[in-house]
Structure 1
């Protein structure tokens, strides 16, 4: 009986691993399949710029995130609900329409002649990379915290 239990446990683990490989994969989708929030974000902030690729990152329990590459080279990541997580301009200026005013104002005042090339929204903070290579960290309200090393 003990041998059967071990075999059952091993088979169950193998099955779970196989399910993880099947369901935990990326797949290419069309921009029309994005959540409405993500489609609106792209329309407002990147009007007239087509998508080069749209990847849906799936985990075992559903969609984890969406990764979009635009034809101008900018990369945008959204969470499973379509809220933006990261906008990476790949050394180009990102649009400022969605960036909190406190962050835009701080960068304009403290780092004139620079611009934001990447911004990431985390649960409790924002991180912004400037065109001069400096990384800044802000709290969830957009208040400057520190220069990130």
Structure 2
């Protein structure tokens, strides 16, 4: 019985080690190797701000997402196709050109002395963080849902 427990323990350890090597692998990439959509996004909305690093997050099935860090401290995440998922200004105002108009209008109309410092696009919603710390939630069409402070 002791041998069965030892063998089982060894197999569990082996599977855990293998799983750790096979699971998510982050690796630095050249920003030129980002998907075209991500490069276009960066060139259009963050022109003149160079990329300090780009990280490719690989899963078993392929690339899951890309993380890009700019020299001014801002960070963004893109899906495997290069579509933006999150832009974090790290307390700096982010460009509004890619943010849905209804979200821009709502935040500037209802919170005139603030600006958006972070925005996250999920499957069914958006979450925007303002410079005063409030988080606004919107549906996927950009209609206001609630304040989550």
Same fold by TM-score, threshold 0.5 exceeded?
yes
**Match in the other structure for 1:4:** none
Deviation at 1:24, TM superposition (A): 2.0
Deviations 1:9-57 (A, max 9, x none): x769936852652452100001110000000000000011100010001
User: Is 1:94–2:94 an aligned residue pair?
Assistant: yes
**Partners of 1:74 and 1:87 within 8 A in 2:** yes
CA gap of 1:14–1:146, structure 2 versus 1, over 3 A, is same
Distance 2:69 2:50 in 1: 9
TM-score by length of 1: 0.88
> Which sections of structure 2, spanning at least 5 residues, go unmatched?
1-6
Distance 2:34 2:16 in 1: 28
> Which sections of structure 1, spanning at least 5 residues, go unmatched?
1-6
**Match in the other structure for 2:75:** 75
Secondary structure, in 3 states, of the residue corresponding to 1:106? Answer: helix
**Match in the other structure for 1:3:** none
Between 18-27 and 91-100, the greater mean CA deviation after superposition:
18-27
Aligned residues: 146
Aligned-residue RMSD, C-alpha = 2.2
